[in-house]
Amino acid sequence: MSVFAAGPGPIDEIQTREVFANFGFFELALFYLLTAVAIGLFAYGAFRRIRKYARGRRAGRLTMPFRRTVVRTAEIGANATIGHRYPMVGVAHFLIFWGFIVLFIGTVILTIDHDIVRIAFGEEASFFKGTFYIVYSVILDTWGVAFLAGLAYMGLRRGLSRPRNLDYKRAEEPPEGYSRAQFVRGDWLFLGLLAFIAVTGYLEEGARIVASDFPDFEIWSPVGWLVGRGFEAIGVDAAGPGETWRHVLWWVHSLAALGFVAYIPFSKAMHMLTDFGNLLFFDEGSSRRLSPPVEAPDHAGYQSLEDFTWKELLDLDACTKCGRCHVVCPANAAGAPLSPRDLILDLRQWADQSTSTVSILDREHRVEPTGPLTVNGDGTKLAGDVIKQSTLWSCTTCMACVEACPVGIEHVPTIIQLRRSLVDEGSMEQSLVDALSNIASQGNSFGKSSRMRARWTKSLDFTIPDARKEPVKYLWFVGDFASFDERLQEQSRTLARLLHRSGVSFGILYEGEWNAGNDVRRVGEEGLFELLVEHNREALEAARFEEIFTTDPHSLNTLKNEYPDFGASYPVKHYTELLRDLIKSGEIKVRPLGRKVTYHDPCYLARYNNITRAPRLILEAMACHVKEMPRNKQGTFCCGAGGGRIWMDDSGLVERPSENRIREAMELGVDYFVVSCPKDLTMYSDAAKTTGNEDKLTVIDVVGLVAEAMDAPEPAMASEAGDVG
């Protein structure tokens, strides 16, 4: 007996199934009517959403067509971003994703055969039979199992193992109370609906196989076959109620599926569409190179829906509440009132409320109309009422949220646009006002005279060339902290001595250098940032050099990625990259130190600019054994000082991010905590003290180790020294 032999004959004898078996005219009409209603609701919901995005500003995201379409589509198809750091979730989502697509395509094929081919070319033109039907059946039946397996994993994970990222407790909790119970029910409805559709599909299939009395070829729908045998066992068979059950189950399955179609644009299910778009138009560089503020005569920061770009509005609908940003956020970990997830969800609810968007089980409830429930008008503010000032000021702009987000949401630029509103109206804490005022008048946040900028060089026994007066190979952009902070000046002198000793041609700009403005821009003070760029651009134009190197990763970021927009385009590297090159070329000779170290990646070096190898190569060159912290490289954890936080009060935090980090390092049993950012040296030296680990863990800059390695004794003795150290 060959199951592949599809002989000619009436329709009930060949290998296929009838779509509307035993349907009267009324029933058929009802089905098509309901289908039309479902598709109509879907189209309406989708239209409402698209119309909302169309209200947004231009986003400039139609560049790189190949990368965006072909490469990104492949990444999306592979669910690559979802599996990043969460491999099991990636696999489960892959099964659901492709299971859904395969089953959807299955329905589309059926529709094409039944409602187009057969109507246009007659019954005999149907291709939904024979070999095609068998292959179709086996593929759909298998992917249905994969689909259910994926859903089962997700359901168990959500229901039983309850990972921290799926806990919807807010970071900033309104005192009058709130409820996010709808979120939870919405999640279960989504998972449940999908599972219900799949299960009823199998039941209907089983009942059909029972009702048609197990024709041989239906063994190619193995799950349906087994379900049919199950039915048979409980007395539902072809002779008995088999056909009635099939008929009823057909409707149950179809109604659920049609209901789901209508439900998509109003619920969590919309992420199937919004996230495809959001990932296609994602720009991984939007945080390192910020967009200018809105060009409006009366305001500088975001105030209304129209200020957002369409991509930023799409971001809001893209969020699936997976909470990966929530758990990596240093502000949230420190007990600050910021969670990137809450920020996006609050903005979404506010945007939906402003546009009267209907949503199913996606609303936070509050006793008072505060936060995301704030009603527009009456002087209510987006930055201040909808999103609290304290929330916006808590961000360190470390970009961990953007890096962790599997669906391409760009939180940091949105936060900065909202901060620009606060700066525009002068709503910020006094220490920040002081820092900005100092920078505006003297070019540094320390309130010191700009003429004192190079005073740290006085105690060197050589003079660092002024790059504005004599040509040099490298222009050292020293930065505020390395120039003015007394603890860090010694580091700067160490680096200067080390370069001088190695015969490297380098110079500085003396009082011509001002704060580079990276953090000023991230605070939201765009006008001051522009002023600083103009000032530094003039100084750089007056100097003669081949390349810039910076001490500060923050300075590096803006000089490298943002200054070119303002007409100052130079090759920029970090001092760790310079040291790596000098060690490689033999210009700097280091001896083995053999220390047990861990290395902390600064956010602006690793996450923003992908510089992770250079500092590790230097450490390896000195035979230091680098033991990695769990959060390393692009997944590094912020020290808490970025984005202008260093100028703000951090006394309200439960645990400073830097202390959290030191505790992470203490688990490794290393002796040295190596940093490559001046702010890190102060942040972590303090944290080592406050956590009581000052005697066990030495916080040291890469430069400090290189200087030691240059003076270290011969290798044979060095290993002994290493053991002691």
Partner 1 sequence: MADMIVLLRQVPDLVEELELNDDSTDVEREFMKFVLSEWDDYALEEALLVKEASQGSVTVVALDDPDVDQVLYTALAKGADKAVKLTGSEEGWIDSHQRARTIASWMRNQTYDLVLTGVQSVEDIDGQVGMLLAQELQHPHVSVVVSVETKNGSARVTQEFGGGRFSELDVQLPAVLGIQQSRQAPRYAPISRVRQAQQAGGLEEVPTEVSGGSGLTVRRLYAPESTDHAEMLEGSADEVADKIIELLRSRGLIK
Which residues contact residue 602 at a Cβ distance below 8 angstroms, ignoring those fewer than 6 apart?
A: 553, 636, 639, 675, 676, 677, 680
- Give the residue with the Cβ less far from partner 1, 297 or 377: 297
**Residue 448 makes contact with partner 1 by CB under 8 A:** yes
Cβ at position 303, least distance to partner 1 in Å: 15
Residues 658 and 673: their CA atoms lie apart, in Å, by 12
**Residue 480 makes contact with partner 1 by CB under 8 A:** no
Cβ at position 390, least distance to partner 1 in Å: 17
Q: Which stretch binds partner 1 (CB under 8 A): 79-87, 157-165, 522-530, 656-664?
A: 522-530
Question: From residue 369, how far is each of 131, 372, 385, 390 by CA, in Å?
Answer: 61, 8, 10, 18
- Give the residue with the Cβ less far from partner 1, 520 or 629: 520
Size of the site for partner 1 (CB under 8 A): 23
**Residue 516 makes contact with partner 1 by CB under 8 A:** no
Distance of CA 104 to the CA centre of its chain: 29
Q: Which stretch binds partner 1 (CB under 8 A): 123-131, 261-269, 441-449, 550-558?
A: 441-449
Cβ–Cβ < 8 Å for 338, 395 = yes
Residues 645 and 440: their CA atoms lie apart, in Å, by 18
**Residue 527 makes contact with partner 1 by CB under 8 A:** yes
Considering only 428, 482, 509, 709, the residue that binds partner 1 (CB under 8 A) is 428
Give 3-state DSSP helix, strand, coil % of the chain, rounded to 5. Answer: 60, 5, 35
Q: Which residue has the tokens 């002068």?
A: 426
**Residue 464 makes contact with partner 1 by CB under 8 A:** no
**Residue 380 makes contact with partner 1 by CB under 8 A:** no
Q: Which amino acid is at 293?
A: P
Tokens, residue 370: 């505060």
- Cα dihedral 226/229/231/233 (nearest 10): -140
- Cβ count within 10 A of residue 377: 6
- What's the angle, vertex CA 578, arms to CA 577 and CA 581, rounded to 5? 90
**Residue 7 makes contact with partner 1 by CB under 8 A:** no
Cβ at position 527, least distance to partner 1 in Å: 3
Cβ at position 541, least distance to partner 1 in Å: 21
Q: Which stretch binds partner 1 (CB under 8 A): 2-10, 436-444, 556-564, 673-681?
A: 436-444
Q: Which residue has the tokens 């007395």?
A: 235
One character per residue 679-718, x = contact with partner 1 (rule: CB under 8 A)? ----------------------------------------
- Give the residue with the Cβ less far from partner 1, 443 or 594: 443
Residues 585 and 717: their CA atoms lie apart, in Å, by 25
Q: Which residues share a beta bridge with 675?
A: 701
Tokens, residue 70: 């072909």
DSSP 338: -
**Residue 345 makes contact with partner 1 by CB under 8 A:** no
Enumerate residues 630-659 that contact partner 1 by CB under 8 A. Answer: none
**Residue 417 makes contact with partner 1 by CB under 8 A:** no
Q: Which stretch binds partner 1 (CB under 8 A): 192-200, 373-381, 491-499, 528-536?
A: 528-536
- Give the residue with the Cβ less far from partner 1, 48 or 448: 448
- Give the residue with the Cβ less far from partner 1, 374 or 442: 442
Q: Which stretch binds partner 1 (CB under 8 A): 329-337, 523-531, 571-579, 685-693?
A: 523-531
**Residue 454 makes contact with partner 1 by CB under 8 A:** no
- Give the residue with the Cβ less far from partner 1, 315 or 424: 424
**Residue 437 makes contact with partner 1 by CB under 8 A:** yes
- Cβ count within 10 A of residue 262: 20
Considering only 336, 423, 475, 718, the residue that binds partner 1 (CB under 8 A) is 423
- Give the residue with the Cβ less far from partner 1, 410 or 525: 525
- Cα dihedral 161/164/170/173 (nearest 10): 100
**Residue 436 makes contact with partner 1 by CB under 8 A:** yes
Residues 649 and 433: their CA atoms lie apart, in Å, by 12
Q: Which residues of 688-717 are buried (b: 16+ CB within 10 A; e: fewer)?
A: beebebeeebbbbbbbbbbbbbbebeeeee
- Give the residue with the Cβ less far from partner 1, 103 or 528: 528
Q: Which amino acid is at 160?
A: L
Enumerate residues 290-329 that contact partner 1 by CB under 8 A. Answer: 293, 300
**Residue 511 makes contact with partner 1 by CB under 8 A:** no
Three-state secondary structure readout of 429-473? CHHHHHHHHHHHHHCCCCCCCHHHCCHHHCCCCCCCCECCCCCCC
**Residue 531 makes contact with partner 1 by CB under 8 A:** yes
Cβ at position 438, least distance to partner 1 in Å: 9
Cβ at position 656, least distance to partner 1 in Å: 26
Give the DSSP letter string of 8-56: ---TTTSS---TTTT--HHHHHHHHHHHHHHHHHHHHHHHHHHHHHHTS
Q: Which stretch binds partner 1 (CB under 8 A): 347-355, 399-407, 445-453, 667-675?
A: 445-453
- Where do contacts with partner 1 occur on this chain (CB under 8 A)? 293, 300, 423-424, 426, 428, 430, 433, 436-437, 440-442, 447-449, 451, 525-528, 530-531
